[in-house]
Structure 1
Amino acid sequence: NVHVIQVACGGYHSLALTDEGEVLSWGHGGHGQLGHPTIQNHRIPLAIKALSEERIVYIACGGSTSAAISGEER
């Protein structure tokens, strides 16, 4: 089971943060805001593989942007 602890919404996309620090994204991907290798739209939440090595603690969205803060001190 996936336990979502935070949701962020942009203009036409959304992010979800799980209790394990994983980020899922869905919606309009035309500007790369979903964080996937392509700019395709996604109707179903998909894990952002580029963040799989990080434990994310906070997410945010703007109109066509997404941001994530990791728990690592870097």
Structure 2
Amino acid sequence: MQFPHFTSEKVFKWFVRYAESGSRHIARVRGYTIPEIKKILNSLGFETPKILTEGTAIIVTAKKP
């Protein structure tokens, strides 16, 4: 799976721009941090054996035990 990396400069700028615009539109990019991704996947019963960061992405290989 691939998630936008919130702490990357590019994704954080998307967040700032969205916040400054005052938009409340539901269709927006939501950035994630690695601890958030682990929490979400673990709570859904996935193991997260491999997490990589590449540019603006967090790439996860997850499986159910």
TM range (shorter): 0.3 to 0.5
Structure in which a larger fraction of residues adopt helix:
2
Give the number of the structure whose alpha-carbon radius of gyration is greater. Answer: 2
* Higher RCO (C-alpha under 8 Å, 6+ residues apart): 2
- TM-score, structure 2 as length reference: 0.37
